[in-house]
Amino acid sequence: MGNNLVQKIFESHLVSGSLEPGGQAAIAIDQTLTQDATGTMAYLQFEALGIPRVKTKLSVSYVDHNMLQTGFENADDHRFLQTFAAKYGILFSRPGNGICHQVHLERFAKPGETLLGSDSHTPNAGAMGMIAIGAGGLDVAIAMGGGPYHLKMPEIVLVRLKGRLRSWVSSKDVILELLRRLTVKGGVGKIFEFGGPGVKTLSIPERATIANLGAELGATTTLFPSDERTLEFLKAQEREKDWAPLEAGPDARYNQAIEIDLRKLEPLIAHPSSPDRVVPVREVAGREVRQVCIGSCNNSSYMDLMSVAKILKGQKIHPDVSLTITPGSKQVFEMIARNGAMADLISAGARILESACGPCIGMGQAPPSGAVSIRTMNRNFQGRSGTPDDQVYLASPYVASACALEGVITDPRTLGMKPPRIPMPKRFFIDDSLILAPSPDPEDVAIERGPNIKPLPTRGPLEDVMEGSVLLKVGDHITTDHILPAGARVLPLRSNIPAISKHLFERLDPDFFKKAKESGGGFVVGGENYGQGSSREHAALAPMFAGIRAVIAKSYARIHRSNLINFGILPLTFQDEKEFDGIQQEDRLRIERVRSRLETNGRLTIWNVTQRRAFEVSHGLNPREMEILLAGGLLNYTRKSA
Ligand code: MIC
Ligand code: SF4
């Protein structure tokens, strides 16, 4: 009984391997989720596997990212996804039903089960006591086909919460505090399990706010126990049959422990342009604010929006601020519409957006140039909002509401108002009519494929000799938003790799793709935590299409490293980090006997032809990853071993 909760769930799902930290484990996946921006690729890949029906207990396809429909592309993708789901046994959450993570928490997340999602914020469902992991679409496709998920077993960190949050302090401040202490790479190779007496003071939506931003720590996932508060939430969702109590054993052991005294926290805010640049709000109070965006898969719950409505009721927002509100789901939207809170928000001057990712991923609502935008979201990477010189700060709905009223960054404790207290509803409004069941007659369903949906590009087995130039050299913490941006212009091209590839690295070098194509491919050199952020496999698919053979970096973010391997790109690490300084953009590199060296040696030697010197890199691949790379990617490997 000495196990921690992570080990308990992993043990009950272990297919093969070892659960020791650092060991290779394969776990069975009960549920999958996809969203539209990663979903079309994931389903094209599932189709390529030739499996007639998904084999999971539950698979849901959400539409929430690509909702602007400024051209035919988004709408065509929606039709593809809807018909695909009907044919292959997948539930389809229609556009308008809400953001994947919020809806999944409300309607499907289940204590003790496993969830793999083609979105990095899948750990949101960890609030419900489930192991929920974000992955590339191809990994999710394999899981839908009944295959296990392979991972290097992370270390397990206990985050012991004690005390209770004070007025105007929110669960967002708990995770901002962790980001302040640990930074955006502090969670790489770790799972954060929350425990201690403070846990029971937090409702499920509050826990979800914390679990969701675990992705920003770089963590594999985040997990809460399943307790009376979980039951309370499931009852209110008319899902109490899904409840099971789950907690760590009395003498559970962890690789590390961190303590947070909830009483000691104060309202916090993350500076532009990284979620870990966290300071107390009072330190930046008084800066002019031009935009406030409340919503995203973080902080868009019923309780979040009710507290915003309570604060704004009877008041008007500052004339220099544009305030947008995005309800996280149809359930939230309908509840605040029915109880009148929506009227309070509209009357205060809020602009109400549809229930979708929206401003979080630059799908509209780009802020004014150089202006401060306060957002309740989870990412503030430079330019993600759609404005290249944006100044996006991340904070709780309390802070965001205070800023909307005052027009400057404001600590909500200085508003001189009674803090809102929103109880958990006894029953949420339940109407699943926008979730479509799969067809009982799959053979009668024809999949609709618009002209934007292009076949999946493929590549052959790994080359034995790699030669080319360093097409780009970048520094630390390059995000997938730098590698392949999203936003209103690029996101609609997610089903069209030849078209989207033209945007590869465009924020860093507008001619990158042209240069890569003209020179027949080459290498990219990066710093620490390369590929931080989203799970989009397009950030590996487009480089593959452009002919990138290997990335050489100081270290990698977990999901992006897997995506590189899945698409046959070598993720190499400097043996001696000083070599990073020695290598220049445009240097010509050559790696010989790649295949045989991979099989026999942990290291490869790179010959810098331009500088006439050699340096060593390691690949750190496990035997399965090596096979995948030798085959030229996971799809080739899976077909070969089928
Ligand atoms: C994000 O928040 O960056 C996204 C957009 O949801 C991505 C997925 C994608 O790029 O489609 C993520 O978090 O994985
Ligand atoms: Fe959507 Fe933003 Fe959440 Fe990503 S982080 S799933 S873009 S709301």
Q: How confident is the model at residue 602 (pLDDT cuts 50, 70, 90)?
A: confident
pTM, rounded to two decimals: 0.98
Task: Give the model's confidence band at 641: pLDDT under 50 very low, under 70 low, under 90 confident, else very high.
Answer: confident
Helix spans in 374-504 (H):
397-406, 480-483, 487-490, 497-500
Domain of 258 in residue numbering reads as 5-264
Omega before residue 369 within 30° of 0, cis: no
Could you tell me if 194 and 343 lie in one domain? Answer: no
481 is catalytic: no
Do residues 125 and 168 both lie within one domain?
A: yes
Residue ending a domain, among 399, 414, 429, is 414
pLDDT attached to residue 171: 98
pLDDT bucket at 2, cuts 50 / 70 / 90: low
The answer to whether residue 105 is domain-embedded is: yes
Who contacts 552 (Cβ-Cβ below 8 Å, separation ≥6)?
A: 523, 524, 525, 526, 572, 573, 574, 583, 606, 617
Cα–Cα distance between 293 and 261 in angstroms, integer? 29
Does 419 map to a domain? no
Q: Tell me, in angstroms, the distance from the centre of ligand 1 to residue 532's CA.
A: 11
What's the pLDDT score for residue 397? 98
Do 199 and 130 reside in the same domain of the chain?
A: yes
Query: Is 169 within the bounds of a domain?
Result: yes
For 161, left (φ over 0), alpha (ψ -120 to 50), or beta? beta
Helix axes 36-49, 538-546, angle to 10 degrees: 70
Q: Is residue 309 part of a domain?
A: yes
CA 176, CA 168: separation in Å to the nearest integer? 15
509 falls within a domain: yes
- pLDDT at position 1 is 44
Whether residue 408 is contained in a domain is answered as yes
Per the residue annotation, which of 121, 180, 207, 379 is the catalytic one?
379
Ligand 1 pocket, mutate which of 532, 536, 559 (most atoms under 8 A from CB)? 536
Is 460 a domain residue?
A: no
Do 77 and 224 reside in the same domain of the chain?
Answer: yes
pLDDT of residue 93: 99
CATH code for the domain in which residue 20 is found = 3.30.499.10
Q: Cβ(37) to ligand 1 under 6 A? A: yes
The number of domains in the chain is 3
The ligand with the least distance to the CA atom of 64 is 2
pLDDT digits (tens, 9 = 90+) for 48-77: 999 999 999 999 999 999 999 999 999 999
- Proximal ligand: closest to the CA of 117: 1
Q: Which ligand minimizes its atom distance to the CA of 65?
A: 2
For residue 442, being part of any structural domain is answered with: no
- 590 flagged as catalytic: no
pLDDT score at 618: 95
Choice among 13, 36, 65, 307 that is catalytic: 65
For the CA of 378, the nearest atom of ligand 2: 5
Given a cut of 60, whether residue 537 has pLDDT beyond it is: yes
Query: Do residue 96 and residue 150 come from a single domain?
Result: yes
Q: Is 355 assigned a catalytic role?
A: no
Q: Token digits for 607?
A: 């010959």
The CATH code of the domain that includes 598 is 3.20.19.10
CA 490 – ligand 1 centroid, Å: 13
Given a contact cutoff of 8 angstroms between Cβ atoms, the answer to whether 139 and 177 are in contact is no
> Which residue, judged by its Cα, is nearest atom 6 of ligand 2?
297
Q: Are residues 501 and 583 part of one domain?
A: yes
238 and 304 housed in the same domain: no
Q: Do 87 and 131 fall into the same domain?
A: yes
What's the 440 CA to ligand 1 centre distance in angstroms?
32
pLDDT value at 391 more than 70:
yes
From 264, 285, 309, the end of a domain falls on 264
Q: What confidence tens digit (pLDDT) does each residue in 334-343 have?
A: 999 999 999 9
Which pLDDT band holds residue 151 (cuts at 50, 70, 90)? very high
**In the predicted model, is pLDDT for residue 642 greater than 80?**
no
Q: Are residues 260 and 277 in the same domain?
A: no
* Pair 259, 274 in one domain: no
Residue among 40, 104, 121, 296 whose CB has most ligand 1 atoms within 8 A, to mutate: 121
Looking at the fold, whether 380 and 510 belong to one and the same domain comes out as: no
User: For residue 629, what is the enclosing H or E element?
Assistant: helix 623-631
Decide which of 217, 236, 264 is a domain's last residue: 264
Query: Do 349 and 223 belong together in one domain?
Result: no
End-to-end CA distance of the chain: 38
